[in-house]
A = this chain, B = another copy of it.
Amino acid sequence: MKLLEERIRQDGVVIGDDILKVDRFLNHQMDPMLFKAMAEEWKRLFAKDNVNKILTIEASGIGIACIVGLVFGCPVVFAKKSKTRNTPEDCYMATVRSFTRGIISDVTVSKNYLGPSDRVLIIDDFLATGEAAEGLMNLVNQAGAHLCGIGIAIEKAFQPGGKKLRAAGVKVESLARVGTMSEHEGISFID
């Protein structure tokens, strides 16, 4: 998606060889008009999948997912990373390692909000090693829901997540796929 690639070139910052900071428009400050354009692109790409639920993971996926839900006209559920005093007791749980934070979290979704009648589109900001996506797919499987596919804003295509998921037959639609990036030579995208 050219609009997103241009925005990454303009406002993204590469640190070292593996960190792409996009906190100017994606995951700290957020541009909801950009998110709407992205959501409309996913709506086109998943037009025939009868998506009726969006699933994401807190925190930075929530903003994008909520606007995707608005465009698809369906509810959005976010998997929670830690338990609050009023977390439902009946929830699905999966373990996810965060690439950015370098920590392992248990993520949970209430059994009330994911079930066999759901046709799920998973939405997240980044795809790198694929562990967050696999954790969310695990929750979808536990719920007996149908996975329509995964919509990713930025895929680090030089990392194994996207290849692994596609090899497993999952429909993964990444709106920007970074082929190479470095602090000195910038970013190249692949189709």
**Is the beta-carbon distance between B67 and A70 smaller than 8 angstroms?**
yes
| Interface hub of A25, A32, A88, A110 (most chain B Cβ within 10 A) | A32
Count of chain A residues with a beta carbon within 8 Å of a chain B beta carbon? 42
Query: How far does the alpha carbon of A59 sit from the alpha carbon of B100 in the complex, in Å?
Result: 17
- For the complex, what is the distance from the CA of A31 to the CA of B15, rounded to whole Å? 36
> Do B78 and A59 touch across chains, with their CB atoms under 8 A apart?
yes
Residues of A71-87 at the interface with B, using a CB-CB cut-off of 8 Å, are: 73, 75-78, 80-81, 84-86
Inter-chain contact A66/B19, CB cutoff 8 Å:
no
Q: Does A10 sit at the interface, judged by CB under 8 A?
A: no
Contact with B along A140-174 (1 / 0, CB 8 A): 00000000000000000000000000000000000
A65 within 8 A of B: yes
Tell me if A69 and B30 are in contact (CB < 8 A): yes
Within 8 Å CB of A15, what residues of B? 86
Given contacts A59-B58, A59-B62, contact A36 B70 (CB under 8 A): yes
Across the A-B interface, the 3 shortest Cβ-Cβ residue pairs: A63-B66, A32-B70, A32-B69
